[in-house]
Structure 1
């Protein structure tokens, strides 16, 4: 096989492989030594993530019984699901990597997961967290390509660096001024990641406020949310979403059945109402400019807020309606990647994360 592959120009082979789906590349690593070495290089992994045009994958996870110790995560495109001890929630993804949160022995724990490579990396939270549920976020430092995890609590915050393989803990005394999160603001109502920043939506004095964490500077910042509408004072936040390259908030009017508003952040603290619409199906997720809806027949649809068009996703699952109504099921669209999160026996990160 090596002799046969050697007859092709190296640049042509590289371009062909870059356009192959992740599952094919994982098999091709066994084809010959040259391909194995190429596919493992950090440069190839990043180029493949950018150039690959394979269809987006649909991930549905169900937390099952909240008192159970297991959390089945089902990737719809595969026949077999993966089950993770203690994990309960999936918190977004970046470059094909998902962050999972759960509880083991009454203490909070989290892990990174790549469904395409089926790799899992446990992250030991620096201090036992038993009284408050931390708010986690996953992102990447755009200058160093370092994947990081952040969480905050009423009295501390911490950020984990894959490159350093360690946590940096922020205590209250480390801040120049009191941090924008406290006991009354510890509960979040949605989150999103964009361009090296992670955003949480919190409520402060019945007004939405945004907490931002910059993964490059490793700093928190507070941003004002949209001004309350005097005509509809009783509004609660449903979630956050991305509209093209902007952060947006999805609000629901309490006394207006099925009425929603979408507000887009033009710049920090400046918001514009994009659209008001009605939706009787339950909104369970957001992707790009679309909302993912589930009907009473357990079918998934997407509603594009930019074009005002509805599209049937082509998937139906019996768990969707019942579990989504109770908040036990989540839906994500994501792009598969070769990014590795495994750790060598000596505790050092595999070299593929050192871009």
Structure 2
């Protein structure tokens, strides 16, 4: 009791609250979870939403790597500045976290929160790796004819800036086995974390877009989620979803994208960007185009030649280093200033080797109502 009183007084009187908050906000989550036991004042401070937000903005960006293992399971590793390129990166055992799914899709992160989806088991959960919390999501069952086969799923994940509520967008495309073609309806489901409920949209096929690539070819910024898509005329556009009003919008993409190039959506210099490159050339030149104003694209830089590029993924470390997946199945960091590359020590198939940048978060997934409901739009 004496120790608790001393630490409490130190937090209240010995140092200003602002200084204490600033110091604690720079510490890793692992330390903060221990420091909650120091005294009641520290516990209450670390639990406040303002501190959680401040801490998330202060801590360093890390990398989460998902790749396929030989035993038909996906491994998830965490890379920091200290273990980049290490032969023994830090792995997260999902079973030890109580997550009984083998995620083939990882969506996010948003404020350090991921959504994991296991298509084979048709199961989904939200996961905070920093504090080892997860929250199962009950999935809706759709009444579909027996001749409709398993869907192709594409996802989006973000925050409604008006309510600070987390939302998940699930685009589901089905196949009509009788017609041997796409099913007439594309289903869009929106999950609301606050109400723990799904909202259902059904979009006629002639009004929908085909999402080209569910593995990384999408991004989120400021309450809007973006996908690079093709329409039925094989033209590129950007499909966006506003998480506040829950409406879809089309944005014009680069007219400079010929069919010989490939475009990947990313974030660059606080803007939506498209990374362009020639996938069939030995020496690949990569271009970065950013949308500083809606519908207007400006070339930011050209890099190259860069050898052994399969696909660029996105930027890490204040847009100075580009993540690249190589033809030989490696994952490398390419510094756009020094032109040096760094092997991350991961190998895998193209569709099973994914990298996500994230920051640790104290956001708890155990809050909120556990009831489940279905709302028809």
**Given the alignment of the two structures, is residue 82 of structure 1 paired with residue 87 of structure 2, yes or no?**
no
1:143 pairs, out of 154, 162, 170, with 162
CA offset digits 1:20-56 (Å, max 9, x no partner): 2211101112223332232222232123223x2x332
**Structure 1 residues 342 and 280: alpha-carbon distance in aligned structure 2, compared to 1, 3 A threshold:** farther
Aligned residues: 325
Aligned to 1:219: 247
Give the distance between the partners of 1:71 and 1:250, measured in 2 at CA.
27
In structure 2, do the counterparts of structure 1 residues 267 and 13 end up closer, same or farther at CA, with 3 Å as the change threshold?
closer
CA contact (8 A) 1:202 1:209 kept: yes
User: Do structure 1's residue 18 and structure 2's residue 25 form an aligned pair?
Assistant: yes
Matched residue of 1:172: which SS? strand
Distance 1:141 1:178, change over 3 A: farther
Partner of 1:5: 7
Say yes or no: does 1:133 pair with 2:155. no
Matched with 1:43 is 50
Deviation at 1:179, TM superposition (A): 4.2
Q: Give the match's secondary structure for 1:87.
A: coil
Moved more, 36-45 or 111-120: 36-45
Q: Which residues of 2 match residues 1-355 of structure 1 at below 5 A?
A: 1-10=3-12, 11=17, 12-50=19-57, 52=58, 54-64=59-69, 68=72, 70-76=73-79, 79-83=90-94, 84=99, 85-105=101-121, 107=122, 109-127=123-141, 131-154=150-173, 155-172=186-203, 179-181=207-209, 185-188=210-213, 190-204=217-231, 205-228=233-256, 233-253=258-278, 256-257=281-282, 258-277=284-303, 278-282=305-309, 283=311, 285-287=313-315, 289=319, 290-293=321-324, 298=330, 300-304=332-336, 308-310=337-339, 316-317=344-345, 320-321=346-347, 323=348, 325-342=349-366, 347=370
* Conserved 8 A contact 2:11-2:41: no
CA distance in 2, matches of 1:280, 1:166: 47
Report if the CA contact (8 A) 1:281-1:293 is conserved. Answer: no
Structure 2 unaligned segments of length 5 or more: list them: 81-88, 174-185, 373-377
Contact 1:100-1:112 at 8 Å conserved across structures: yes
Q: 1:63 to 1:342 in 2, by over 3 A?
A: farther
Determine helix, strand or coil for the equivalent of 2:249. strand
Q: After the TM superposition, which of the residue ranges 275-284 and 138-147 deviates more from structure 2?
A: 275-284
Tell me if structure 2 keeps the 8 A contact 1:100–1:110: yes
Q: Matches of 1:34 and 1:274 in 2, distance apart?
A: 48
